A and B are shown apart, each in its own frame.
Chain A
């Protein structure tokens, strides 16, 4: 069976600076891939090239066996949606206005708002539990609320693939859990294929299916998520020693930074 997303020796450079080099991976329908790595490893750049925000300089990228360049930006948006890293920039819209923009790829300049659009909007609000924010201004939302609305806006696009760039950074533990649960629900119940850039290695190893570990633009390791946590690998990836314990409730392996280093 062919893959939903297939990357062959993907490279990306801006000017003469190489951001990522020679990255290959396959993602099938319903997968949950986490991209891990230290700051500046090229994780966000990889995500942006999947969304067509940054152009690929070498290699090939296929969606459903068609090259990314064969898709118009609107067609791509019907296939993939993207939740960017929290930028702190104030968005001058109400929540409804912002989420509604997710229907852009299904419209031309003259087409009207349809019942199917309204349905997509209501679904997005319901899944993310954000209907109560409808009339609020985006900039009045708290970090956790804002992240859920950003996800709602992406869901409004009804695309089978969802990209998330550090969705839980800058959130308190409660909201981290909340957003992570939401992502798992989307993956398990709604069969949405997830690609998430993250710094949360314990979450990634327990809840995603595959991990792609990047360092300085190169693939350091890729494989099954539950095989990921190993002292040597984490040292190579983050230049940091780790120790391991088991979660008292689930028994899952947890990595903690070595304090005696």
Chain B
């Protein structure tokens, strides 16, 4: 199948999810006026928010997979998301509240945490001789555990209300109202997407390995720092608003690669579309499965992602053996 055709197909499907998801699960008992209000103030902003967040997470996952030549390497497995969570948790429990240029302080706290995590993980894996992706992944796991305990510690020290807020948020949820959160998220994700599109040729070359990329003229070190910075910003902003929604960054780009190939000029739009649509679907399932109650969407993505991770692990082992 031609990449252009696959991309159109993916885009159509994800647009359909965008259109139909808000319509599902509408209570026929309530009046038309209330239904209208639910649509415009809850359902539509929520679906748009899910789409933007899903796109951002998928894209950041795609970048990490390309940079480290391994589908298991994503902002979540490498501890970037737990770093962001820790930053946000500390911000909440300290009762801080500030904003800069209309952007909430939580985003900055999460961004700092994300940047800290990737600095530690990448620093450690470089410090060790003969750096390998396995070292990187294991360092990421260790950092994730470490940061998770710090989050629990933060939570323990907080009062009951803050503690509950942190807990709910850690599960990853999208129960937002109105367009405020969407407007918080959009600038970060848009900027990150723009940078990644700008660097799509470099991403292709990074897939070929660092040595080849450098010998073709890519300033790998600088490009890597730019990518770390922009993905941390994007993941930080998303985590700050809806918690660490896991595994989208692993599943979506990998599936897209199977469908559309490895050329980032096609892979980037495909991951954006698929990632957005995927989180919209997961969120709709989370909203409907035990309606009228909702489960956090992070539970759904992780339930899907766990087995997928194992499948990738088994597949990559049998390939190298």
Contacts and interface: CB of A to CB of B under 8 A. Distances in A.
B251 to A, nearest CB: 18
Interface residues of A, number: 34
A52 B214 contact: yes
Nearest to B210: A53
Interface in B213-260: 214-220, 257
A98 B208 contact: yes
A135 to B, nearest CB: 13
Given A14-B129, A92-B262, A93-B262, A84 B215 contact: yes
A104 B219 contact: no
B201 interface: yes
Contacts of B198: 109
A193 to B, nearest CB: 15
A241 interface: no
Interface stretch (A69-77, A183-191, A230-238): A69-77
Given A48-B211, A91-B208, A109-B201, A104 B216 contact: yes
Contact of B211 (A53, A76, A91): A53
Interface residues of B, number: 25
A51 B218 CA distance: 12
A97 B212 CA distance: 14
A141 interface: no
Contacts of A89: 69, 209
Nearest to A55: B221
A80 to B, nearest CB: 8
Highest count of chain A CB atoms <10 Å: which of B200, B204, B215, B262: B215
Contacts, number: 73
A80 B217 CA distance: 10
A260 interface: no
B104 interface: no
B207 interface: yes
Interface in A90-121: 91-93, 97-98, 101-102, 104-105, 107, 109
Nearest to A98: B208
A157 B129 contact: no
B205 interface: yes
B263 interface: yes
B280 to A, nearest CB: 29
Contact of A73 (B201, B204, B217): B217
A56 to B, nearest CB: 14
Contacts of A78: 217
Contacts of B200: 109
Contacts of A32: none
A87 interface: yes
B73 to A, nearest CB: 15
Given A73-B218, A75-B217, A84-B212, 12 more contacts: A51-B211, A72-B219, A74-B217, A81-B215, A82-B215, A89-B69, A89-B209, A97-B263, A101-B205, A102-B216, A154-B215, A163-B215
5 contacts: A15-B129, A73-B220, A77-B216, A97-B263, A107-B201
Nearest 10 A/B pairs, CB to CB: A77-B217, A105-B217, A82-B215, A74-B217, A92-B262, A73-B219, A104-B216, A53-B214, A84-B211, A51-B215
Interface of A: 14-15, 17, 48, 51-53, 72-78, 80-82, 84, 87, 89, 91-93, 97-98, 101-102, 104-105, 107, 109, 154, 157, 163
